[in-house]
Amino acid sequence: MNDLMQPEDPNSRCGFVAIVGRPNVGKSTLLNHILGQKLSITSRKPQTTRHQVLGIKTEGPVQAIYVDTPGMHEDEPRALNRAMNKAASSALIDVDVVVFMVDQLNWTSADEMVLEKLKRLTCPVILAVNKVDRLEKRELLLPHLDMLSKKREFAEIIPLSALKETNLEPLEQAVGRFLPQSVHFYPDDQVTDRSERFMAAEMVREKITRQLGAELPYSVAVEIEEFKRQGNTLHISALILVEREGQKKILIGDKGERMRRIGQEARADMERLFDSKVMLRLWVKVKRGWADSDRALKSLGMNDF
């Protein structure tokens, strides 16, 4: 470590923490609850997270910089899935700690695939067993944890509930113990490196995935075309991309009702986050095949890793 990185406080620690796992195990929920605010979008649908989101948590002398990753996929038939896998894998490069999330008593071939990617790592890997609050037979947990402990040498195995915030403190303490001694990389009050434009786009996309559930496939992207402040009002224009005309009709809804609901809910979240009045305008455009196109994904910032 060079002299610039040596902290004056010997207890000062700072480093990068990757949260990895197969789709829909609760990675985004965990990050949001650790930070105490929404940075990563959540829904019951897998593939919700497409970008690495940097969340920064500073607690006294410890600054943990969390990288939330897309769920890793076993197959990569589409450019979108390839981009998400690449994002998840690249998050493992040069991190100081990995939190590997699994879903209560479930262990699948997708979990095995993620575990395989972790075998090359030399940094500590903490296994977080999520959603244990939903277990009907709690006596099955200990044998399951014992089985998982034989999969590899984990630095810690911590059962928790990200949603109910159960056992998050032991997880954060474990992360802090494994971070290197270092000065803090970010100001202590900073919580993310993402731009306001990015956060606005993610809020619109979350409302779409939450409202439409299984009605609309994952082929939805949001681009912010306007983001400017006039007086006390923030003017935001968002373009929603879909692949087919039928998807556009579903998204708009009867007499535009669904689009109005998406806009109202996204605007409420934005006003809370940006602490400002927000004028939000939404448009829907059909852009065929964007989720299969590496070039289109690059223009949306989804495979620039």
Binding positions: 21-28, 68-72, 130-133
Cα–Cα dist 42/23, whole Å: 11
Nearby residues of 214 by Cβ (< 8 Å), 6 or more positions away: 45
Q: Which residues are part of a known binding site for GTP? A: 21-28, 68-72, 130-133
DSSP string, 83-147: HHHHHHHHTTTT-SEEEEEEETT---HHHHHHHHHHTT--S-EEEEEE-GGG-S-GGGHHHHHHH
Nearby residues of 258 by Cβ (< 8 Å), 6 or more positions away: 211, 212, 250, 251, 252
Cα–Cα dist 23/110, whole Å: 9
The single-letter DSSP state of residue 70 is P
How far, rounded to the nearest angstrom, does the alpha carbon of residue 213 sit from its chain's CA centroid?
A: 18
Cα–Cα dist 210/173, whole Å: 32
